[in-house]
Structure 1
Amino acid sequence: MSPLEYYRVPGSVRDNVDIVYKGVDSAASEPQLHGAPHRQRFLKIWRIVGYLLAGTLLRLVYTQLTEPPPVVPLSPPLVVSLPPPVLSRPSPARETKSNLSPPTKRFASLSEGRWVRREGPYTQADAVRDYGAEAADVRGEKTALLVTSWTWSPMLPGRVMRDWDGYDFAKRMLNSEIGLLIAGDSISSQMMGALGSIGGAPAMLSVTRYDPYEVGTAPHNPHTVVRNNMVPSTLIEIALKRDSEWYPRLRKELPHVPESRFIEPFARGVRHDTLVDLPELKEMVRGLGKIPQFHDEGVRFIRTQDWKRYLRPLSSTPGWPGQQKSIAILNTGAHIAPSQLGLDALTISKLHPLMAREIMLFVKAIPRLHTMYRSTAPGQPRCPVFRKPVYPAPPFADHDKSKAYGWGAFGHYNEIWGREMDRLSPTGLSDDLSGSLVFLNVTDMSLQRPDARAIKRINRPDCLHWVLPGVPSHWIRMAWHVIGELDEGRV
């Protein structure tokens, strides 16, 4: 027994026992207690209890040092169920590449192409089918049929121009707030007259032409269908006849369109030779340091019907489910000439950007409106000598008549309007992104058709206006293609 073990024995035991060592390494290396038997038993019990307590303590320490801490199960993560975000789908016009294209680029390929003659002999029945009217020309029926037997074929990459359908056109325009508005000079009036021919049979549509030389709104020969009439009108309105075969069909296919919309015209042509009202035009001229003279003001050569009033009521929200955008086709140029305004060519060149800015800022601020500006094609002297289209378009021929009317500058004016449109709307969209701006370039395709110019009299060729429906009807078809592309959100 070691000394340490000895001192661990209680004092009362140490005083009454004798310790005898028998060797430390022997199996009997434990003290021999001499005394009463009960004292020996007590010492053995005390020793056993000590061993047990020490072993228990050692096990606890070992467990704390070697075993990993118990894994406390975590509560499952809190999952919050949120509704999916509501993403408003943008209109097609905001989804496509066309949004990034300026007005002069969006449909540029539509104006690149050539005229193609229809196959087979062309008859008056064919003219009625294609144009809604028989061909007529002062040079005779043969020439008239030859002129109308050509169709415009643009170089659309991988596509063809949209087929014209008078019923679909009426349906599309009735499903918008005002339909179609064509505003401009006498050539725009001819465009509207061509629409009156190809739009549909007289039994379906009423085409009302107002007095061409009166500045009022009193109708002249109301409900007169305009067919092959070169004389420009102050106002032309096209509406659906209530007793036509189209009416019940359209009423069924457009159930959300209010009845009042079917009563109103779905297309209007308004004569305004300068687009900018004369008081504003005079202020622009004064701003350029010039004195406006306007030789033809107040006479029949300058007419200024209020075209803007048809656009001012346009609302920013659809008036019924599925309502489509209204359409405006604008043009000016032929009357912004030295001979009529009493201004030099340089001043007129400076005037055009101001006019373009005034008009484009007005239309691009109007919600839910697609606006096309149609380019101006100059007249072509010596037009009576042509009997078929010319490809490529012949170069502009300067002439005393063209000098007087400033025809030679029309190309420059077109560039100015296109440049201003691109600058004011680089994306080709309106201010609130609900409408579009498009430069409808018809210059080259029109210059390919000196044979289709109006003659009036053999000894006095016009060479600026057109035999109707003729070339202006193809402008309508081009615009119809643009409308379809805009509606579908394609370039």
Structure 2
Amino acid sequence: MSCKTFDGVLTKTRRTLAFGMSLSALIFMVVYADLPQIPYLYGLVSKPAILLPKYRDPTYGTWIPSPRGVVDADLWNMFRTCHPDFSPATGGSDGRDKEEEQMIRGRKVASWEWILEDGKPPREWDTEAFIERSLKSRGGFVVIGDSVAGQMMSDLQTLLGQHRGDHPRQVTERIELEDNNIFISISWVTLSPKNPLFERLLAKPSLAEVPRARFSDPILTMYRSDNLLREGELDDILKSVGMVEPLNREAHRAKADWRQGLRNISMAASWPGELDTIVIVNTGPHYSPLHMMPANDDQLIKSYEIVIKKVYDFLSAPPVPMLAFFRATSPAHQNCGAYSQPVLSNSSAAENPAPEWHNYGWHIFPEFNQIAEKFFADQNSTTTRYLDIWPLSVQRPDAHTGWNVDQFDCLHWCQPSVTAWWVRNLWHTIQEEGL
């Protein structure tokens, strides 16, 4: 065979091998490879740049001085929620100038503003937009929880225009008391027909599909439910984690039936373009050694997970189109009376706010939050979310209610202050994400 003939055979063989290898590679890619990625792997087209989310997360940030807060404090006139140190042990006030001292401290506590990590504040509160968003859903906004949740509800009412001394009321409230006629069990807030916004919202094209009757239904509701479940359910759950004795019935537990309330909302007729009812739910402060006696910490933590799972299961398959936010349990600070301004996030007061053990369960709030976050922060869920207000709140040991009767209340908050920013951050999230 001549060299020329041999070279031709060799070339043909190479071509055959090359074709076979190319065909094998193509078959491999078709069978095993991620087909949409093939053009990028071989440089046929430029891979698009990864776009960062536009959503501005309000969870993390810092507190800065704000004179606007002092104006809010005067307008809200809720100084009785903010007590100076009246304790006899520290030579506290004899009470003759109590109201003036409350006003001074209330203004000081309110004079701080939450700024996000980008150095800008959350989106501005918009009363008209909030009410419009509420009217676009059957249930509006629903708050479920204990007295701390009640403070958030109170701030919502005030932001909607219900200030002390305002006449006529811009919103009207109807309440249902518990059997003892002391604690509010359910509270409904409705847009007053006397409110200038009423006719304007009624005429808005964006609300044209909303039934006329919806304008007379609540825009904001609160169910006072300290533990979210009834005592019989709690007994069964605690028994399953090893508690032998039944739950102590002497500890007060508000137990408005929020589940039935949400079912009742579902009975109203829907309409084209109806949006989700927004639910903000929490439990924790009443899930404590004192309130859940005789449960120990281990039983509390194990049973709390069962409770949250039960609540999550209900809210993840709601009876009405709904988006439920589980609000993180806010921190309580030991020795809160020693602080007169916010602290840094890496300070000892922020990193270890509670004592090693506390009768009201302050020490296990972080574990409760981990459990709630595990369920409600599911990125794939379209019905549940986790509203993390811990980082914002833990930097404010100075903002607690303060001296109350015969001890420091280091769990509840002065108003307006921390809880008002929970409301603003919730509204910021709804606006940013178009919820």
TM-score range, shorter chain: 0.7 to 0.9
Matched residue, 1:323 = 274
- 1:215 partner letter: D
Q: 1:469 to 1:207 in 2, by over 3 A?
A: farther
Matched residue, 2:309 = 357
- 1:420 partner letter: F
- 2:127 partner letter: G
Matched residue, 1:373 = 326
Matched residue, 1:188 = 149
**1:134 offset after TM fit, Å?**
5.5
Q: Would you tell me which structure has more helix in proportion to its own residues?
A: 2
Matched residue, 2:62 = 114
1:167-316 equivalences in 2 (<5 Å) = 167-201=128-162, 202=166, 203-211=169-177, 214-215=178-179, 233-253=184-204, 254-295=207-248, 297=249, 299=251, 301-313=252-264, 315=266
Q: 1:261 to 1:304 in 2, by over 3 A?
A: same
CA distance in 2, matches of 1:150, 1:196: 21
**1:313 offset after TM fit, Å?**
4.1
In the superposition, the TM-score normalised over structure 1's length comes to 0.66
- 1:155 partner letter: E
**1:160 offset after TM fit, Å?**
5.1
Q: 1:316 to 1:486 in 2, by over 3 A?
A: farther
- 2:107 partner letter: L
**1:457 offset after TM fit, Å?**
3.1
CA distance in 2, matches of 1:106, 1:316: 37
Residue 127 (structure 1) aligned with residue 91 (structure 2): no
1:80-95 equivalences in 2 (<5 Å) = none
Show CA shifts across 1:225-247 (max 9, x none).
xxxxxxx7322221111122111
- 1:344 partner letter: N
Q: 1:303 to 1:459 in 2, by over 3 A?
A: closer
- 1:183 partner letter: I
Show CA shifts across 1:188-230 (max 9, x none).
111111111112144311234444xx238x8x8xxxxxxxxxx
CA distance in 1, matches of 2:433, 2:313: 20
- 1:418 partner letter: E
Q: Tell which deviates more after alignment, 391-400 or 437-446.
A: 391-400
Show CA shifts across 1:252-291 (max 9, x none).
1123322221112110111101112221121112222322
SS at match of 2:148: helix
**1:178 offset after TM fit, Å?**
0.6
**1:460 offset after TM fit, Å?**
1.7
Q: Are 1:272 and 1:303, in contact at CA under 8 Å, matched by a contact in 2? A: yes
Q: Are 2:57 and 2:429, in contact at CA under 8 Å, matched by a contact in 1? A: no
Matched residue, 1:467 = 414
How many residue pairs match? The answer is 353
1:373-412 equivalences in 2 (<5 Å) = 373-392=326-345, 394=349, 395-399=351-355, 403-412=358-367
- Highest CA radius of gyration, 1 or 2? 1
Q: 1:168 to 1:277 in 2, by over 3 A?
A: same
1:396-435 equivalences in 2 (<5 Å) = 396-399=352-355, 403-422=358-377, 425-429=378-382
**1:314 offset after TM fit, Å?**
5.3
Q: Would you tell me which structure has more strand in proportion to its own residues?
A: 2
Q: Are 2:231 and 2:247, in contact at CA under 8 Å, matched by a contact in 1? A: no
**1:480 offset after TM fit, Å?**
0.9
Q: Are 2:242 and 2:299, in contact at CA under 8 Å, matched by a contact in 1? A: no
**1:181 offset after TM fit, Å?**
0.7
Q: Are 2:331 and 2:362, in contact at CA under 8 Å, matched by a contact in 1? A: yes
In the superposition, the TM-score normalised over structure 2's length comes to 0.74
Q: Which runs of 5+ in 1 are unaligned?
A: 1-104, 221-231, 430-435
Residue 345 (structure 1) aligned with residue 293 (structure 2): no
Show CA shifts across 1:351-390 (max 9, x none).
1211111011100101521110011123112112211111
Q: 1:317 to 1:304 in 2, by over 3 A?
A: closer
Alignment root-mean-square deviation, CA = 2.8
Q: Percent identity at matched positions?
A: 26
- 1:111 partner letter: T
